[in-house]
Amino acid sequence: MAEKQCSSSGCTKESCEGCPSKNKPTSFQVASNEYTKVKHVIGVVSGKGGVGKSMVTASLANLMAEKGYRVGILDADITGPSIPKMYGLHGPAQADDNGIYPPLAENDIKVMSINLLMPDEEAPVIWRGPVISGMVKQFWTDVIWGELDYLFVDMPPGTGDVPLTVFQSLPLDGIVIVSSPQDLVQMIVKKAYHMAKSMNVPILGIVENYSYLVCPDCGKKISVFGESHIEEIAGKMDLKVLGKMPIDPSLAELSDKGDFAKAENKYLTDAFEVLHQLDRVKKEEA
């Protein structure tokens, strides 16, 4: 018997009976802008706010840009955007009938964020969830990303509406979970972990931020937020630890000055292998 063809307009309850696609999950993914060709989309998530997700997103982006890859950052943290400031970028972004052009950071990373579209970057975004989610989708459908090897998505914290939209709408190749060494972390990492698992998105690994502080006088490592349990937690969930970032005042300074393009990535070197591996797998599949 010939297989029935699904159609977005012609399917009826009756015609769906016996159709092999009937029980297949519906994809909510949206199409990218026609001038966008991104090889890998990587989400950077955290179960709670303030763990340094943007810092890790930008550090991963710098790492791959330093290695010669074409990189972009989609700032999906609509109510707390920090990426443009880190790279000293200001709006308004240029646009024409084809779409919106992401400004370039000093190290050629393409960036799109709500702050590059608002007339006043200090004005708060007081929008309801669906409007915010719509904006994030537009960053994919309307922004001309061009040809990129890696697009990092700085997700809003938590597991609410907007992270869900990103998980459903964008073709994520994987996510990186960011955590900090507090006691709460196990529960928080698990939330992000379970969300990714339930959406069938691969977890590339965990980064621990604020891992320690190096005393500028004696060089001793101080565990400001308590001893790290990240290896143990990652082991239990069968995840890779992609790196531990200390509290590094030079990174905070570069970020505050808008000079983050100059930040050298010394801490997330293990992440390179994992991200590079994605590229290798895709090349082999092609």
Which residue reads 């999950």 in tokens?
A: 25
52 is in an annotated binding site: yes
Helix (H) or strand (E) holding 193: helix 185-198
Options 15-23, 141-149, 214-222, 240-248: segment touching ligand ATP (CB under 6 A): 240-248
Q: How many residues does the chain have?
A: 286
d(CA 160, CA 196): 13
51 binds ligand ATP (CB under 6 A): yes
Is cis: bond before 92, omega within 30 of 0?
A: yes
50 is in an annotated binding site: yes
Closer to ligand ATP by CB, 103 or 246: give it.
Answer: 246
Options 3-11, 143-151, 166-174, 242-250: segment touching ligand ATP (CB under 6 A): 242-250
Closer to ligand ATP by CB, 73 or 144: give it.
Answer: 73
Choose which of 38, 55, 116, 185 interacts with ligand ATP (CB under 6 A).
55
Is cis: bond before 124, omega within 30 of 0?
A: no
Beta strand ranges found along 155-202 (DSSP E): 174-179
d(CA 182, CA 170): 31
Q: Write down the least CB distance from residue 48 to ligand ATP, Å.
A: 7
Burial of 208 (0-12, 13-18, 19+ CB in 10 A): buried
Choose which of 66, 161, 248, 259 interacts with ligand ATP (CB under 6 A).
248
Q: What residues form the annotated binding site for ATP?
A: 47-54
Residues that bind ligand ATP (CB under 6 A): 46, 49-55, 77, 80, 82, 157, 209-210, 245, 247-248, 251-252, 255
Known binding-site positions: 47-54
